[in-house]
Amino acid sequence: MPTFQEAFGDVSAALAQHFGRPPSHFEGLEPFEAMIAVLLERKAGQTRWKAALEGLGAAGLLVPERLAEVEIIEIRDAVREKGPILSAKALAPLRHLARWLVEHHGGRVDSLFNPDRSTGWLRGELAAIKGIGMTDADALLLFALKRPSYRVDRATYRVLVRHGWLDPTATYDEARDALVDQAADQADTLEEDAAADLAELAHGMEQLGRQFCRAAAPHCDGCPLEGLLPEGGPRGGDD
């Protein structure tokens, strides 16, 4: 059975061939809008985040300085105007993120693209913002800031464990680092290439988890990774 390092290129290629390129959800958004969109997608879901973002835009709240100073109830009402009803708890991280940007970066998202600020440093900063943990930080880095990171979802975890590429006791960071390190190796250290590869991989893994590698049981027949199964079939990896 190939090691994860040996198989990484084949996994990426098989998923890209089967599931295609990821949808460009956040293309065309300004960087701050994209960061808020990523958080809204996590809070409101894939079908409702766009309406929520439109509500914030219509209320003039897609500006860090404005979002940082308004009351949560105003944010909630703006979202509800065009989108879902979200709780104050779900919306508070948006304001915390805006405040962090204003207080530490003069409200300028472009400061986060500065290559002198490493992805690891930025990850720690984002994850330390109230209401934004490591998983949100990884999603923000990859999808809004185009940095090489990865939000390890349950589908990715199942696939890696069932193929014997990840120990079932591995921590979130160990799983995330294994993926990011392999993408960096493949991309020959070009950060933007590694980020694009990881975004494509995330899309493929998500689809794989829905269509083949389900939580209850894997459906390996016809799966794009069937040829990379370990001897004897999948290993335990149920949620």
Decide: 119 and 142 in contact? Cβ < 8 Å.
no
Number of residues that bind ligand SF4 (CB under 6 A): 14
Site residues for ligand SF4, 149-188, by CB under 6 A, read: 159, 162-163
Q: How far is the CB of 93 from ligand SF4 (least distance, A)?
A: 32
Residue 229 binds ligand SF4 (CB under 6 A): yes
Helix axis angle for 172-186 and 154-162, nearest 10°, is 80
Residue 218 binds ligand SF4 (CB under 6 A): yes
From CA 238, how far away is CA 215, in angstroms rounded? 5
From CA 128, how far away is CA 150, in angstroms rounded? 17
From CA 50, how far away is CA 47, in angstroms rounded? 7
Q: How far is the CB of 224 from ligand SF4 (least distance, A)?
A: 7
Among 6, 69, 192, 226, binds ligand SF4 (CB under 6 A): 226
Site residues for ligand SF4, 80-99, by CB under 6 A, read: none
Residue 223 binds ligand SF4 (CB under 6 A): yes
Angle ∠(145,81,41) on CA atoms, nearest 5: 30
Q: How far is the CB of 214 from ligand SF4 (least distance, A)?
A: 8
CA nearest neighbour of 142 among 215, 56, 41: 41
Nearest to ligand SF4 of 32, 157 (CB atom): 157
Positive or negative: CA dihedral 41, 42, 45, 46: positive
Which of these ranges, 18-26, 62-70, 81-89, 225-233, lies near ligand SF4 under the rule CB under 6 A?
A: 225-233
Interacting residues toward ligand SF4 by CB under 6 A: 159, 162-163, 208, 212-213, 218-220, 223, 225-226, 229, 234
